[in-house]
Amino acid sequence: MRVQKGKIVIFSLLVIAILATVALTGQQVAKNITLGLDLQGGFEVLYQAKPENGQKITPKVLNDTAQALNRRIDVLGVTEPQISVEGTDRIRVQLAGVKNQDKAREVLGKPAKLTFRTPDGKDVLLDGKDLKEGAAKQDIGDRGQPIVTVEFKNADKFAKTTKKYLGKPMPIYLDDQEISAPVINSVISNGEAMIEGGFTTEEAKEFAELLNAGSLPVDLKEIHSFAVDSALGKESLMKSMEAGLYGILIIFIFMIGFYRMPGLVAVVTLVSYLYLVLLTFSLLQVTLTLPGIAALILGVGMAVDANIIMYERIKEEIRYGKSIPSALRSGSRRSFLTIFDANITTIIAAAVLFYFGTSSVRGFSVSLITGIVISFFTAVALSRILMTLLVRSNMLRRPGWFGVKESEIGEL
């Protein structure tokens, strides 16, 4: 068998291209990642709940308000808020990496009370409590303008109201501001209403989300707000990253020591795994938190595992006396199903966690799913491409390159 130089050249070019991309853009990618409150600190607001017209502030009201704030923070696209109830009437909200603090205050603090009023705008006919939960959405009106559609729980009540004020305007208010004053042209019996307000699509969407998040049960007054340092502190974050690097280096050395040439391929695929995960995070603007990092570590584990499963299988086939090219073929085919089953099971678990989980649990599952999908690509596809190139080049003729001793062959 002649050594095929062409394959070696392609292999080397691929490896060089991967390493060069990582070396040149790696830092840039890492810098673009948003870190969570637990890693980078953030912005903190303390609110005081103010009772209005005879309302009592009970622990339940405070809890409901905290939950409503939590839902609103989702509107802001911030992950992992920390919200706590303090004393008898205070709520503390901590947000990570919020760039626009004014915007955050606006979304958080707005009572977001939607009212449908009499033509003179003085009396309230219907309000946000009459709306069906979660049914508000952004839509496009008949003239192509962005609108928000809402649905009433009690269609009869709405039908009666529209009958009573037929031909008259029914102004719609958000808090104390009139946002539109549609004239009722017909009795609406299906309980659905459209709100026009000269919105941009963005505004209409945000408004719909705000309505879905629910109005705040109480008025909130901001007592103070300031920036906070991370729970870990910069120093320990640096320490942890350093520790992570050592860990990865040890894995690299181990893989090369144990699996030789394939180990080297594994190292290249692991480097691309880490790079692609970080790239995905920065492109999707996923906030990286400590639970996210835990999921990443698990992802590294699973990527290494996929490589190990494949190489062990190939070694096994070599020991049975197969030639290296055919051992590679059957070894990678057989290991594929195993890796696929293990990964799919974990993805199913992670998807369920995402669907039912909140904040941290969600952050964890997003990172885990990203990690598994990418590891499937690097540890299975890329690894196989590189291995096949190496084997086809006829460079890897000795079982020793796979960490198999000549004496072991055929003993099983």
Q: For other proteins, which is the closer residue by CB, 183 or 351? A: 351
112: left (phi over 0), alpha (psi -120 to 50) or beta: left
Q: For other proteins, which is the closer residue by CB, 5 or 50? A: 50
Q: Count the residues in the chain.
A: 412
CB of 410 to other proteins, least distance (A): 12
Neighbours of 231 (CB within 10 A): 16
Residues 6 or more apart whose Cβ sits within 8 Å of residue 390: 7, 11, 261, 265, 396
CB of 117 to other proteins, least distance (A): 35
Gap between the Cα atoms of 270 and 282, Å rounded: 18
CB of 280 to other proteins, least distance (A): 18
Q: For other proteins, which is the closer residue by CB, 48 or 149? A: 48
Q: For other proteins, which is the closer residue by CB, 35 or 300? A: 300
| Among candidate residues 158, 145, 136, the one with its CA nearest the CA of residue 209 | 136
Q: For other proteins, which is the closer residue by CB, 54 or 59? A: 59
Residues 6 or more apart whose Cβ sits within 8 Å of residue 278: 26, 29, 30, 33
CB of 180 to other proteins, least distance (A): 36
CB of 219 to other proteins, least distance (A): 20
CB of 254 to other proteins, least distance (A): 6
CB of 61 to other proteins, least distance (A): 13
Q: Is 318 within 8 Å of 332 (Cβ atoms)?
A: no
Angle at 91 between CA 363 and CA 105, to 5 degrees: 75
In order, the DSSP letters of 333-401 are HHHHHHHHHHHHHHHHHHHHHHHH--HHHHHHHHHHHHHHHHHIIIIIIIHHHHHHHHHHTT---SGGG
Q: For other proteins, which is the closer residue by CB, 181 or 231? A: 231
Q: For other proteins, which is the closer residue by CB, 351 or 381? A: 351
Q: For other proteins, which is the closer residue by CB, 121 or 244? A: 244
Instruction: Report CA Rg, the chain.
Output: 30
**Coil, helix or strand at residue 1:** coil
CB of 25 to other proteins, least distance (A): 25
Q: How far is CA 234 from CA 38, 199, 254, in A?
A: 10, 42, 30
CB of 285 to other proteins, least distance (A): 21
CB of 305 to other proteins, least distance (A): 4
| Among candidate residues 127, 129, 107, the one with its CA nearest the CA of residue 220 | 107
Q: For other proteins, which is the closer residue by CB, 136 or 327? A: 327
Distance between start and end Cα atoms, the chain: 27
Neighbours of 130 (CB within 10 A): 19
Q: Is 270 within 8 Å of 300 (Cβ atoms)?
A: yes
Q: For other proteins, which is the closer residue by CB, 17 or 250? A: 250
167: left (phi over 0), alpha (psi -120 to 50) or beta: left
CB of 293 to other proteins, least distance (A): 8
Q: For other proteins, which is the closer residue by CB, 43 or 116? A: 43
Angle at 384 between CA 383 and CA 388, to 5 degrees: 120
